[in-house]
A and B are shown apart, each in its own frame.
Chain A
Amino acid sequence: MRDLDSFALDPANRPAAAAARTVADGSGVPFAPLVIVGAPGSGKSELLGAIADRLQASHPRASVELLDPDALVDRHRRAQLAGRGDESRAALVAADLVLLDDLERLVRYRDCQGLVADLLDARRAAGREVVVTLSRPLPKLSGLDARLLRRLSEGTTVQLSLPGPEARLTILRRHLGDPPGKLSEAVLRAIAAADFSSLRDYTGALARLIAFQEASAVPLSPEDSLLLIGATLRSDGRTVGQMDRPPDPAPSERPTAQPSDLDEFAEFLSDIEAGVSEQVDRWRRRVGEAVLRWAGEGLRTARLEALLEQEVAADPELVLAGYDRDAAEILALSREAAALAPDLVGAAVFHDPDQLPAARALVEQARSRAAPLSWTTKHCFGPVFFTKKKITSTCSTCSSVISAP
């Protein structure tokens, strides 16, 4: 469980810790709202979590809403889409405690700033507390609705800062837990003395060192520890953490916050139309090339032309492959027919792959016609007759059995 006492370790944070305890215990007059201001990484979210934990430990049935602007707006919009906007608002007003984290990010949701101002009004009227955290003081906030700023400024503001080295050491000891022997006191002091910008960086560094120590039999020295967490000793004795954030990127490197005024959907649709058309046109080009090729061979290409006219409900790839196969076969049949029966040359069926069965039948007939029905051969000075059904015969002179040649 997150502990409010950790925040009281640093003298500068005692007012914030006391106010948080008052809210969690439900004692005293509502701050309406309580505004906690602290730089990123000073532990604001941790403090809100500690308030929620403490309230729910003493009142397990208490309803606590801990939300950041993204979650709040997401919930509100979903409820509106489902036609349950009023229900969602009422639930927030009725909750025992509402905790809003990083409220300055509401600047991204202009349409929902009124919702939060109304929520603050309604809960104040009902005597229910709201706790808000901000990373910048109220006067330095820009982009928030004037009514919302007014409501926030009417509340009680407390500051939260990154705890000093001694308070950090105590927090690290608490995070290390029992038994404390996983890391030496000297290592804890080295981490606490490091110059990170956020409380999360300290606890993260501690977690990394614990993990490393568990896998190693050799106790970590303070110097090795600093090396492992990416911190180095400065000439003034301080350490510098590599987790310190780089400066903001130049504004030009960021995406524009506002979409262009152009109709984005129309642009998208136009791109898709171009994309689909390009692909369909590619098929058409291929079909067109096939028409020219096979027409050049003297074949009818009605099947392919129907594709171009979009009359065929079939995959053009399959149609093309099927036509190529049929065309090649019909040309081969045409050549065979010409060899077997010259009178078949020029027959229409040999120029149309769609008449492939008829062409096959014609060639079959030609093959049959090309084979003679009967023939004779000479044996012992006399003829011997053969037919298709009689492929052996007996010589009338010598009576020997003769096979058809």
Chain B
Amino acid sequence: MPLVNFTTREITCKLVYYGPGRSGKTTNLLYIHGRVPQDRRGNMVSLATQSDRTLFFDFLPLELGVISGFTTRFQLYTVPGQVYYNATRRLVLQGADGVVFVADSQARRFDDNLESFQNLQENLLEQGIDVRQLPLVLQYNKQDLPGDLILARPDLDDALNFRAVPSLGADALHGAGVFETLKLVSSLVLQRLATRPPGSER
């Protein structure tokens, strides 16, 4: 649940970008980082392997100011997509208020998407989180690539979106769909503020 601290009057939401390696999770965060005024963002922390793939996670804190008397913060994380970093993924996923699953629209990455999505569900289940209750948005990235290389959104929906969660196409590199995704998952997370049981502060 989002952290609502009434003593310090703060709202903190943790959003995790999940998906297979090279699907564009870090690119999403880099784009957001580039669009947020300096005084509203913290340093983007990025830990990469020698081959420049995300090793631990990327972390981008966003300070959204005082809203209705609450200092509001969003914390954006990415998980390492590579299969062998599952322990790190589980760790980053802990306490997530919302998840963006960044799928690679390229046809040749179809199996990677499925595997990663299944891994997300397994990791959530292991933490006792019902994926049906967690705010989740599917982002089909790289939709700008030539049509013969990618799968169309309906095909990706058929394969991944059997829970009928919000989904949208994106070109994270140029920003198309990046903020739309962030807005969508944020709004789902904020809607949960009102439905939480009393005393459910994290």
Contacts and interface: CB of A to CB of B under 8 A. Distances in A.
Contacts of A77: 30
A265 interface: yes
A256 interface: yes
Interface of B: 4, 6-9, 11, 22, 26-27, 30, 35-37, 40, 44, 46, 48, 52, 64-65, 67-70, 72, 74, 107-108, 143-149, 152-153, 169-171, 173-179, 182-183, 186-187, 190-191, 193-194, 196-199, 201
Nearest to B145: A105
Q: Nearest 7 pairs between A and B by C-beta? A: A248-B147, A317-B198, A275-B190, A259-B175, A280-B68, A245-B148, A255-B176
Contacts of A256: 171, 176
Given A75-B52, A271-B187, A255 B67 contact: no
Given A267-B179, A273-B67, A277-B68, 6 more contacts: A246-B147, A259-B179, A265-B36, A268-B186, A272-B64, A318-B198
Contacts of A275: 186-187, 190-191
A201 B40 CA distance: 48
Contacts of B143: 254-255
B162 to A, nearest CB: 22
B134 to A, nearest CB: 17
A378 B132 CA distance: 77
B147 A264 contact: no
Interface string A249-286: 10001111111000011011101110111111111000
Contacts of B176: 255-259
Contact of A313 (B6, B40, B64, B149): B6
B179 A268 contact: yes
Interface residues of A, number: 51
A124 B68 CA distance: 60
A254 B52 contact: no
Contacts of A255: 143-144, 169-171, 176-177
A214 interface: no
A165 to B, nearest CB: 22
A279 B179 contact: no
Contacts of B70: 276, 280
A24 to B, nearest CB: 22
A269 B4 CA distance: 18
B199 A315 contact: yes
Contacts of B153: 253
B6 A314 contact: yes
Given A265-B37, A313-B9, A318 B108 contact: no
A156 B113 CA distance: 38
A282 B194 contact: yes
A134 to B, nearest CB: 13
Interface in A303-321: 310, 312-318, 320-321
Contact of B6 (A279, A315, A321): A315
Given A78-B52, A247-B147, A268-B183, A257 B30 contact: no
Contact of B148 (A248, A267, A276, A313): A248
Nearest to A307: B6
Contacts of B170: 255
Contact of A321 (B107, B148, B198): B198
Contacts of B108: 200
A385 B144 CA distance: 102
B177 A81 contact: no
A318 B46 CA distance: 39
Contacts of B27: 74
A257 B175 CA distance: 8
Contacts of B64: 269, 272-273
A259 B31 CA distance: 11
A279 B70 CA distance: 11
Contacts of A321: 198
Contacts of A318: 198-199
A94 interface: no
Nearest to B33: A81
B147 A249 contact: yes
Interface string A225-248: 000000000000000000001111
B198 A315 contact: yes
A315 B201 CA distance: 8
A282 to B, nearest CB: 5
Contacts of B65: 269
B112 to A, nearest CB: 14
A17 to B, nearest CB: 24
A279 B193 CA distance: 7
Contacts of B199: 315, 317-318
Contact of A257 (B52, B147, B174, B190): B174
